[in-house]
Amino acid sequence: MLTSLRNRALIVGLIGAVLTIIGAFVNFEEFLRGYLIAYIWVMGLSLGSMALLMTGHMSGGNWWMMSRRIYEAAVRCVPMLAVLFLPILIGASHLYRWMHIAPNTDSIFSEKTWWLNTTWWTIRAVIYLVLWIVLSLLLTRLSARQDDDASPAIWKRLKVISGIGLLIWAWSLTFAAVDWGMSLDPHWFSTIYGMLYMIGEALSAMAFSIMILSALQKYPPMDAVVRPGRLHDLGKLMLAFTMVWAYFSFSQWLIIWMGNLPEEIAWYLHRIKSGWGYIALALVFGQFALPFAMLLSRNLKRNARRLVPVAILVIAMRAVDLYWYVVPNPGAQPGQEVPHLTIHWVYITALVALGGLWLAAFAAYLNSRPLLVRTEPMLPRLWEQEHGH
């Protein structure tokens, strides 16, 4: 199953990559916008999985033991994604208009030049990627050793790395969100922006793990552990993450609207005018209201056929959410205005390209190791709960 998934995803990804490269020659700025959306989307699957993996090392739980290999396979894609950051690095001046603003001509931007300058932005991007690569290697290589070594020392080291790693993850992702997302409009700022990215990535990673577990539950050894009660637990976590995402999104809007500051409110005005209000409404219903209402059902959370469509909706709406954040910003060149609602075809091909390549790598990594960690200290308890002895 995983081999077939890898081959199909690779073919789709390569076709998408060819079309995306053609799009780069047709309209380079639209290509970069689409590539940035797709890149943050797939990176979110890996970094969200990293957060859930480290949380599981710290807390344990049946939900994590079933999903651990899925999270590890997603985390192992981080070095590949670091290489795929190169187009954004090369085309940064076409994405970020502050790279064209003279500080003495913009009073708001002049106060941010200590942070928003090309050299320091590039150095920070390298730091983020290096930190994520180091964390991914530490977590996955120690886990590989644990397959054949039941020593408590490895278990303790993973806990220590996870405790420190969660702090590094939260810090680096917050600043990466500011650099790669919020700085698209250098006049705007939000103190909760990084937290929105964190919960968005955790939500998409949880939804993705539900999809993969549901597909694997027909095959051993997952057929013995992926049961309705445990799908129910994962569904409850997805519901909780959905509610937190909605809370953060509403809080950001409410604080900015109550503050009534022109440079902050303008960001939302850009996203409700010129047709963008339809996307905002789609996010309200597709990213929160509909998944929230459906996940309240106990029967739905225990049924993979019903739960998987909700997970697919959540992941798809995550891409729409990023589209709503990235595209309706003033163009990078001086004098360019916020574009009207538009969906350039390269936005779709970029998602297909990076999504396909990421999924192919993920399936290959997941297929390279046992689906359950044989020496996991809490695994016997999982079997006892299932078989009643």
Find, among 111, 116, 90, 107, the residue nearest to 182 by Cα.
116
For residue 311, pLDDT beyond 90: yes
How does 261-272 read in b/e, with b if 16+ C-beta sit within 10 Å?
eeebebbbebbe
Per-residue pLDDT tens over the stretch 191-209: 899 999 999 999 999 999 9
DSSP characters for 132-144? HHHHHHHHHHHHH
- In the three-class reduction of DSSP (H, G, I as helix; E, B as strand; rest coil), residue 216 is classed as helix
Which residue matches tokens 């569904």? 235
For residue 387, pLDDT beyond 60: no
Mean of the pLDDT values across residues 162-185? 95
Distance CA 245, CA 195 (A): 9
For residue 332, pLDDT beyond 60: no
DSSP characters for 271-340? TTSTTHHHHHHHHIIIIIIHHHHHHT-HHHHT-HHHHHHHHHHHHHHHHHHHHHHHSSS--SSTT--PPP
Mean predicted lDDT score pLDDT of the chain: 90
- In the three-class reduction of DSSP (H, G, I as helix; E, B as strand; rest coil), residue 180 is classed as helix
Find, among 45, 44, 379, 27, the residue nearest to 221 by Cα.
379
Per-residue pLDDT tens over the stretch 3-25: 999 999 999 999 999 999 999 99
Mean of the pLDDT values across residues 298-305? 93
For residue 389, pLDDT beyond 50: no
Find, among 193, 143, 137, the residue nearest to 165 by Cα.
137
pLDDT at 334: 53
How far is C-alpha 87 from the geometric centre of its chain's CA atoms?
19
Higher pLDDT, 314 or 256: 314
Q: What is the pTM of this model?
A: 0.94
Per-residue pLDDT tens over the stretch 112-162: 889 999 999 999 999 999 999 999 999 999 988 887 777 788 888 999 999
All residues at 6 or more sequence positions from 144 whose CB lies less than 8 Å from its CB, including other chains: 369
